[in-house]
Amino acid sequence: MFGIDKRVLNFFVIVILSFITFWWTFFIFHLPFSYDVVLGVICIRLIASLLIFKDYSMSWSKATQKTFLIKSIVYIVAFIVYMPIYYGNHRLAFMASELAFYLFAINFSMYAYYYFINRCKINKTKVVVIYGAGKAGIKLEEEFRNSEYKIKYFVDDEKILQKRTIDAIPILSKKVLKRKMAKEKYDLLVIAMPSAQKERIKQIYNSLNSFFKEIRVLPSLEEILENKDFSSQLKDITVEDLLARHPQDLDKQKIQDFIKDKVVLITGAGGSIGSEISRQCKKYGAKKLILLDHSEFNLYKITEELGCSSVIPVMQTVRNLGFVENTFKKYKPQIVIHAAAYKHVPLVEENVIEGISNNIMGTKNCIDLAIKYEAEKFVLISTDKAVRPTNVMGTTKRICELYAQNVKSNKTEIVAVRFGNVLGSSGSVIPKFKSQIQNGGPITVTHPDITRYFMLIPEACELVLQAASIGKGGEIFILDMGEPVKIVDLAKKMITLSGNDDIKIEFCGLRAGEKLYEELLINDSDKKTDYDSIMVAKPTPYEIDKLNDDINELLVCKDKIKKLKEIVPEFTHKA
């Protein structure tokens, strides 16, 4: 402003405002104006501004609540200095009244300047509603001031906040918002609740989706970056947000006690499940992580991501007994988590011998070596497709379960954990649908009635570790996957979220070995554990010498399907 240093202007403001506030105070107290008092107080205020908190150099255009507080402290300290000087000549009420008027004038002037400089110069063309009137919502309201969005309402579930306002913006309940929006549709709803569970986000979305053109959500507290604007971190609602379910009985202390300071070997460490288990083991304090995978790229990727000296990559296939034995001999793992497997149903149907070799023999190799080298715990990752299987992949995993339950384990506790589909894993339906939507459709669904269980990968993996921590050996644990989801409904949700309602859905028929629905329990006699999210299956006895003979025969016989049916009588092959 006129080329004058704004720190000098601050002194100028002190002088002008002091003259004005003293003139008014002398007037209302019916006293003659005293230049001696005014000049004396101005001098002390200038010195206080110079010495305390560098008040003279504070930027008014970047003022915060703390700035206003500092201003008040500076001039109250000045008051404490000059009040004894003038106490005999002027009443305390006179001096205190002038101070109150001065504090109001200086803070009002500063806020008016701040508001004028920072006022939005952008034309407001869109309407936004913020769900959540907490700290995150207020920060977003500040950031939206300089955007094209006009904030119409806040919405909050706390009754104590409802019917109040933030900067003159009303805070409503969800019920009142829906009533007000009965005949109109706003541009954007922002869900500013970083501590909310995904189940709550899903409820809000389902309730308010029809009232907004777009819904965006602030990331969770774990994901949010504090040094970036919240508005730049808003993300679209994803199908993972809508399908996710958070187990309420996750015992992180139990998992930490199980993993901390242990040497952990993870097979299939580069896959969707294996890589997440690797992350979790690092998070929970594993002493050393031996990451084993036959894929060079996947192993490189997870090793680079974890990036520490305690992570050791081993590029091997679990089918090579000699190579894997060298790894066991060298690192002596205390915990072995076996995630390596071929899991894609149609591919294994076309490659039966490879499926048997990798899934059955690979698992058998790892279990036998864990027993030989006295690992404390062996954890087999299994699948809901092992329950009354209709395909080769599920049957091979069921044989793995039988081996894990019945082998003579000596000092090693061997457990299996069975669960359904995980959201976003390689080869799963969600990435496929996303790709089809990006290409303009159509989305292909095998059958109108096909259903599947779903769970987020991180939650599934934490529950795997929790189940493993409570296992004593011989159990097959089953994760509670909630209610099954119709795949056609999933496709419809993804089309809605994409904003392209023109995309069609086509039904292409069940593939070889595919079920209409999956099961997690073989019978109703399965027992509960201390955790509602984890059940334990009734054991299935199988004489181990006979099972070994059957597996050996399976490897050399010509009719693999027939032999698989002998080992797993409930196997009904749908070729």
Q: Which helix (H) or strand (E) element contains residue 353?
A: helix 352-355
Q: How far is CA 339 from CA 74, 277, 293, 327, in A?
A: 65, 9, 10, 16
Task: Identify whether 121 is a catalytic site residue.
Answer: no
Contact of 513 with 385, CB cutoff 8 Å: no
Dihedral pair phi/psi, residue 404, rounded to 5°: -60, -35
Whole-number Å distance between alpha carbons of 392 and 397: 9
3-class SS of residue 454: strand
Q: Which among 152, 262, 288, 385 is annotated as catalytic?
A: 385
Nearby residues of 320 by Cβ (< 8 Å), 6 or more positions away: none
Contact of 188 with 144, CB cutoff 8 Å: no
Per residue in 17-52, is it b (16+ CB within 10 Å) or e — as a string? bbeebbeebbeeeeeeeeeebbeebbebbbebbeee
- Packed helices 544-556 and 560-567: angle between N→C axes, nearest 10 degrees: 170
Whole-number Å distance between alpha carbons of 401 and 274: 18
- Packed helices 544-556 and 392-406: angle between N→C axes, nearest 10 degrees: 150
- Chain-centroid distance, C-alpha 265: 26
| Listed residue (228, 303, 227, 231) closest to 269, CA to CA | 303
Which residue type, as a one-letter code, is found at position 196?
Answer: A
Contact of 572 with 453, CB cutoff 8 Å: no
Which residue type, as a one-letter code, is found at position 362?
Answer: G
Whole-number Å distance between alpha carbons of 353 and 355: 5
- Chain-centroid distance, C-alpha 250: 15
Q: What is the set of active-site residues? A: 385
